[in-house]
Amino acid sequence: METIKTFILLISFLLILFFHVDAQNVEIIGDTIEIQIDGYKTGEIQWQFSKDKQTWENLTNSNSEKLTCKVTKTGFFRAKVENGNCPYFSDETFIYTPFTDNSFPKITDEGAKLKIQWDFNISPLLVSRYFVTVEGKDTTIEVTGKNNELLLPRKMEYYNKTFYIKAFTNWGLQLPHQTIRYENNYTKFFTCKNKYIAHRGLSALYPENTAIAFEKANEAGFEYVECDIWLTKDHQWVVIHDETIDRTSDGTGKVSQYTFDELQKFNFGNTKSFGSKYPQKISSIKEFVELCKSKNVKPLIELKHGASDQDYRNLLQIVNNVLPYEKYALNSFGPSTLYSIRKIDNEVILGLITGIITQNNFNDLKSLYPCFYNINVSQAKLDQPFNSVLNSDIFKLYSNGTIISIWTVNDPKYFDNLSQNNMFILTDILPPIFK
């Protein structure tokens, strides 16, 4: 009798070994799948599903060697076979169904942290680990299977980089990897075909900081224009470089001594260089950004002196009503000015202008994030590689992802070296590539 029982158990075991499920591992939600039991002909069959192999649910398809159903989620299928008093189970078939709605992965800025989140549409109990790598980096970050997010220091070096997330199951299967590119207003603003910035417009050929200088810069091929702004007596922001109107108009006195309407009476095209050839009125900041919008050119707006928080709020309101964050930047020599603006607006792109590179600048760039660095040409060895010791400070910033612009470069022989090293170039002249 014992021999017969042993024989039956052996036959049953061999039957289990011959159970084979033939199906693809990756399916899209809503697809119809077929799973076939091969090599078995007797017994009642009950198909089952489990998302985590902890609990199993019976499916409606019963007593058939082939299961046909629509995929709704990731998990395992198996057949429970009733053969006498002992039920047996077929091999388990794992079907993976990735998300198709692009809701994951995602990247968000959270204070000083960068949060990367993913969801592979699989029970965490089935995942042993995740691996996250960053484009251009050799480092791989391992995350345990119970977590589906990673917090990193929010560094500029991650801008415009692709993150690759890989997931491995407990039995060693690698799921289709996920990717996401970290793009935001900062990277969008500095995405361009060429890296030339028209300093005060095309100021070598037209009166600086005037509408015609900006229009001609755009016509020539510049994607960026730089301007300077001061406050009038009636607290209107106007486009002008100097504290006084003497050099750039046919009037005299400080900008702050006049109302905006009073400034309209002067000719701001009347300079020593151009005489009365290009008569121009002074532009308000609203007129300037509306011009930039109409020409699809991105402005870098330099604040020339400190102002009240209310004046900064008015400035931001005017510009934000015309341009999205990815289309403009505010920059200044004064860190205190930039900190005041940052307290009001967390999203606006800022730029720190400096004549001398200091450690304090490095700290400010981190605190004012997102912030680029506008460096005086005297601080860069333009005829040397930027990875040389002579440019070590600049290279350190660039390597960490800081956007760098150099002002003011008017010798074309340096243009190639700067642009090849991804430096933005503020210039008064027309670059040879535009001619």
Q: Does residue 82 carry a pLDDT above 90?
A: no
Structure confidence by residue, pLDDT tens digits, 378-414: 999 998 888 888 888 898 888 777 899 999 999 999 9
Contact status, residue 133 vs residue 164, Cβ threshold 8 Å: yes
Are 28 and 97 spatial neighbours (Cβ–Cβ below 8 Å)?
yes
Element holding 336 (H helix, E strand): helix 335-344
Give me the mean pLDDT over the 138-155 stretch. Answer: 88
Q: Which pTM was predicted? A: 0.76
Q: From residue 117, give the alpha-carbon distance in Å to each of 19, 169, 407.
A: 39, 18, 39
Percent of the chain topping pLDDT 90: 66
* DSSP assignment letter at 47: E
Tell me what the mean pLDDT of segment 270-298 comes to: 96
The mean-pLDDT minimum among 2-6, 35-39, 167-171, 354-358 falls in 2-6
pLDDT tens-digit map of 333-344: 999 999 999 999
Count of CA atoms in the C-beta half-sphere (13 A) of 269: 13
Tell me the CA end-to-end span of the chain in Å, nearest whole number. Answer: 101
Q: What is the pLDDT of residue 198?
A: 99
